[in-house]
Every structure is written in structure tokens, then in C-alpha cells.
Structure 1
Amino acid sequence: MTDSWKLTLRCNRAEAEALDTESAALAAIDPLPVLMTREGVEDDPDSWVLEAYFEDKPRAEAIRAVTSLVPSHVGKRPQPQRIADADWVTMSQAGIEPVHAGRFYVHTASNRGAVPQGAKAYRIEAGLAFGTGQHQTTTGCLLTLDAMKARGAVVRNLLDCGTGTGLLAFAAMHLWPQAFAAASDIDPVSIEVTRENAAANGVALGVNRGQLALAVAPGLDDAMLVGRAPYDLIIANILAGPLIALAPSIAAATAEGGTVILAGLLTTQADAVAAAYRRRGFRVAGRVTLGDWPTLRLVKRQRFAPLRASA
């Protein structure tokens, strides 16, 4: 196996969350590096790390391109580190601890650990799509789904909008195995990753009950997704801005009495996101907060009964 190289940059959480992997600067690098972000110091928003993995020693222009993604690091001189005779993908995942959230257990191939009794295990590799279960937004969604099932919620038609790795769609399908299920993402890579993860975890793809239908789409802008509406469960673990922008289309696609789970927002953004959905007929029915990351559970109100005639 040939040597690989790693470039480590200090950054902050805002930069890590806003990382632009489609930037023109990166497009000039061939082959593209694999980028991974993580907390350097737990719960410290100013202590995050960006790691870029290269197949060969990166040239100066490649280092400048990656450094430009995290402005707080501009002006510093990062030094690439050789990873000799190592499978860097496995190595990069070795420190990812399994996540146990409700009845779900999420792990990588290199760090499975002991699956808790009664837990549903999913193997989700860290890589090009968001949603390994490690981030508090994903964990919050898993806990919210678990609590819905525990309360006896019935779901017949569900959508995971912005699916990333497919994990949240898989979890919802496990809880409601006879439901129609769909997952979408604006990034074609995410949908390909979801296909691979579905195969690895025994999740059937297709358009029938108990199968997952996939679509590359911005939000719900896809004929298949619109045609399958209304949904009685929509999960959207994205970012606050897109969640607000999608409020009209998500509301239009949600059945009366249906549930929407929103995540990817910070505590400081929760009121604005909730307000956007209240204006579309939702009420906040529950909230799970992990660190600075809340997960909102909203329910679409039933229409008001017709006004009584005056006496």
C-alpha cells in the first residue's frame, strides 16, 4: 500500500459546519482530498480540527486551497504529515466511538464494539456524507424517533429530506417497517453513499412498502417526492437557513396531524426556525437538546372546524 498524507488545520465550529467542499479552489486539486472535521476540545466552539487526506504529498497550491476553507487558519504554515504503510480511512475512523441512542447503535466497521442487547445496530462509515450518528444533531433525531415510537406513534409514509448517509431513514424504517419511505439529498454523492449503506445494513431499496425510494433533489423539488405526499413524518437534519427556506414546501407536503423533525440548527437559531413553521400551521410538540444543538419535533395542526352559524 502506498504512503498517504494528512494535513491538519485548526478551525472553529462555524467554519467546520460551513465547509464548502464544492469550492473552485478545491476543484483544481486532482485527485480531490478527503476532508473530515471533528471537535478538538469537546464543547469548545473555537477548538475544531479540519483534516485533509491526500493520496500523495500535497503541493503548495493544494495546501493553500484547503487552508482557504478555514479563514481562521490563513497566515499559518501547516505541514503535511506522511501516513506510512497505513490504510488512512480505517485509521481516521479508529477513534470514532459507537453511538448508543435509544434503541439504535451506530458504529463503523473498524470500531463495532459490543452491541447492547435489544439495540438495532447500523454500520455507517465516516466519509463523504454527513450523518454518522456522531454529531449531536443526528443523535437528537434518533432519540426523537425512538421516543415517538415509544409513545405509540403510527407512521405510514415518511421522508428523510437531506438524508446524508441514509441513517435516519433507516432508523425510521426500522421503527415503522410497513411504511412507504423516501430519502432525498441535494448532493448526488450522498445518495450514492446511502445506496452503499443500505446494502451494508440490509435495507431494501424500491418504491413499495418497507422499501426506500431515493432522489437527488434540492429539498422536495422532485416529481417522485411530490407525488408521494402527503407525509405523516418528515425528517430534515440540515441547517437553520435551509430549514427556514424549506418551511413552505415541507408544510405543503406534511399531512394534517403529521410530524416534522428538524435538526442542524443551533440553540440560538431555534426560535427563528420554529417561528417559520408556526406560520405554516405547526406547533412545537417536543425538543431534545444535546450541547448547543436542539432537535425540534413539530406537529401540523388539524384545520379549524367550520365556524358555527350565528344564532
Structure 2
Amino acid sequence: MSWIVSLPCTRAEAEAVSNGSALDALAEPPVVVTREIDQDAGLWQLDAYVDDKPAPALLTMIHALVPSAKGKQPTVDELVEQDWVTLSQQGLEPVQAGRFFVHTSSYADRIPPGTTPFLIDASQAFGTGGHDTTAGCLEMLDRVKRKGTTPRNIADIGTGTGLLAFAAMALWPSARTIASDIDPASIFVTRDNAAINRMPLGRGSGALTLAVAPGTDHPAIRHRAPYDLVIANILAGPLITLAPDIAVATAPGGHAILAGLIARQMEPVLAAYRTQGFRLAARGGSSEWPCLLLVKRRRYGWRRKERAFHRADPADASFGSW
């Protein structure tokens, strides 16, 4: 059995908690989730999941995360064990973004004609297409294709379920594509999803290479650089930190699709990439979750900036290096 502790909160408190809290220092910290329960009224809620019935001290710590709930008693409920994956899949509606139709097994017999479908069931990894960031990236990929761009070398950094890498492969089937994630579980999920969606794995053209890596730090990613297209649907902080590395990995004139940031984080992210020689070519996504298409400027003349990029031995460019 497990338990859930719920309290009302403000949006500001929800955003603050998402960046970490005092609970993280506990030996067995609760899983804390915040969500908007009424968009019109601006009502938010904090839910903390714990394995055992929460002690008063833990309730006090959880209450301290949301000062706006002072004087209100938290709701504490015992959860009955259920098949959460199956339940979550039942609640996932299909998503159509550009030419892509992303669905779970429940909708496998309801694919609209003329779409490019992907079956992505609920899993441990992020990226089922339902979130605005993933849908925005799918639409941006479709937009890049319609403009006539033809990347031959593609990297999906922070791939999650592999969905964006699959979409790129469907658009440019002759390209070489590599997908990486810092979480080994995501790479296992991507491998399984590749089999389900008949996406070939390997190292040649038209195949997908997989790697566990923090950012671009992997021999296979370094060896294949520079890339005509880099996709990074992660978070604003890592996007800013990775700006120099993504700049090195992107070919002059190449594109970068960035997402995972909220609207107020767009300017700091853009500033980090402009410093590295990128310009904003297009903005997509939703008003709250923008998706940015950047182009790396070409450098001409004897003053052009060049940075050495470590070329690993081809033998290091291993597939599925977990």
C-alpha cells in the first residue's frame, strides 16, 4: 500500500517545488507532484506520494512547502494497489501534431488516413506526445520538412521514449540518427518502442543508434558530429548549460530544435544560444511551452571561429552502450 498527501497551493509554489525542496534530503523522500486543477480559477494542488502512512513530522515538512495552505488540514488517503500503467494509458488521448498521430494501444484501430502514426504506450520515460513540448517539437519537425530542409545527420539529445527520433527518421529516412538520454531506462524504453514502430536500430543511414549520455558527452555522439539537426526537448536549465556543447555539435547552417522551457524562460535560453552563434528562425509550440527553431550562423573569412571537436575512434561509436 502507499499513501497520498494533498494540499492546495499556488502556481508560484508549484514551480518552486518542481526545482527541489527540503524533502529531497530525506533518506526516502516522497514523490511530489504539482498540478493545475482548475485553469479558470487558477487553482493548483500539491500531491506527495509515500510508501507508508506519513508521520506527523513528515506532514509538517510537506505543509511547509505551501505557505498559502496555512491553517488548512492536508488530505491523507491510502491508495489501493492498481495497474497504473494500464490506467494511465486509458487516460492518454491520441495526439495529432503536424502529419504525426501518436497513440497508445487503445487507439491502434483508429488511425486517421494520411497520417504518420507512432504507437507509444505509457512508460517510465517522458515523451508520449501528450505534453505541449513534445507536440510542439513534432510540429516543428514537420515544419522543417515542409521548408525543404534535408538533414543527413541528426541527434536527439534527451530522447525519452524515442518519439522525436522516430519522427525525424520518418521524415528523413536516409539520414543517420542518434538518440541519447542520461537515464538508462529511457534507452531501454526507446529500444522497445523502436521495435514496436519498426524503426531499425544500427549505425548506418536509415538506422537509429542509441546511447546513454549526459548531454552530448558520449564517444558515439562526438564521433558523428557535426549534426545538421539537433533536437533537445529537456529543461531550460540543462538547455542553457548545454549551449556550448550543442553549438560545437551543430554544423554551420545547421538547425537546433529546443523545447522543455516555459515562456518566461525563453529569453535566457535564447541569450545562451545567441552567444554561441545561433539565431532564432521560428517559434512554435504553445503560448506557455514554446518550441524554438534555431539556425547556427555560418562563419566566413579568416576570423571565423572554429573549435576543435574530439574525434573518437570509430570503434568507440558503439550501439546501445549501456
Same fold (TM over 0.5): yes
**Native 8 Å contact 1:16 1:50 kept in 2:** no
Could you say if the C-alpha distance between residues 149 and 110 of structure 1 is closer, same or farther in structure 2, counting changes exceeding 3 Å?
same
Q: 5 Å matches for 1:179-258?
A: 179-258=175-254
Aligned with 1:169: secondary structure?
helix
Q: 2:127 aligns to what?
A: 131
Could you say if the C-alpha distance between residues 93 and 49 of structure 1 is closer, same or farther in structure 2, counting changes exceeding 3 Å?
farther
Counterparts of 2:63 and 2:96, CA distance in 1: 32
Could you say if the C-alpha distance between residues 240 and 44 of structure 1 is closer, same or farther in structure 2, counting changes exceeding 3 Å?
farther
Q: 5 Å matches for 1:28-177?
A: 28=28, 39-42=36-39, 46-47=43-44, 50=47, 52=49, 58-60=52-54, 64=58, 68=62, 71-72=65-66, 76-83=73-80, 86-112=82-108, 114-177=110-173
Counterparts of 1:161 and 1:257, CA distance in 2: 19
- The aligned amino acid for 1:176 is W
Deviation of the 1:125 alpha carbon: 2.3
Select between 111-120 and 165-174 the one with higher mean Cα deviation: 111-120
TM-score, structure 1 normalization: 0.82
RMSD over aligned Cα, in angstroms? 3.2
Could you say if the C-alpha distance between residues 240 and 218 of structure 1 is closer, same or farther in structure 2, counting changes exceeding 3 Å?
same
Identity over aligned pairs, percent: 47
Q: Which of the numbers 243, 261, 286 marks the counterpart of 2:282? A: 286
Counterparts of 1:219 and 1:121, CA distance in 2: 28
Could you say if the C-alpha distance between residues 50 and 148 of structure 1 is closer, same or farther in structure 2, counting changes exceeding 3 Å?
farther
- The aligned amino acid for 1:60 is P
Could you say if the C-alpha distance between residues 279 and 43 of structure 1 is closer, same or farther in structure 2, counting changes exceeding 3 Å?
farther
Structure 1 gap ranges (5+):
none
Counterparts of 1:98 and 1:253, CA distance in 2: 33
Q: 1:30-63 CA deviation, whole Å, 9 max, x = no partner? A: xx98x876543348775256485x8xx74336x9
**Native 8 Å contact 2:283 2:291 kept in 1:** yes
- The aligned amino acid for 2:203 is V
Aligned with 1:110: secondary structure?
helix
Could you say if the C-alpha distance between residues 45 and 178 of structure 1 is closer, same or farther in structure 2, counting changes exceeding 3 Å?
farther
TM-score, structure 2 normalization: 0.79
- The aligned amino acid for 1:203 is M
Deviation of the 1:199 alpha carbon: 1.9
Select between 107-116 and 141-150 the one with higher mean Cα deviation: 107-116
Counterparts of 2:141 and 2:75, CA distance in 1: 42
Aligned with 2:173: secondary structure?
coil
Aligned with 1:262: secondary structure?
strand
- The aligned amino acid for 1:41 is D
- Counting matched residue pairs gives 294
Aligned with 1:105: secondary structure?
strand
**Native 8 Å contact 2:111 2:117 kept in 1:** yes
Q: 1:262-292 CA deviation, whole Å, 9 max, x = no partner? A: 1111111111111111111111000014031
**Native 8 Å contact 1:185 1:218 kept in 2:** yes
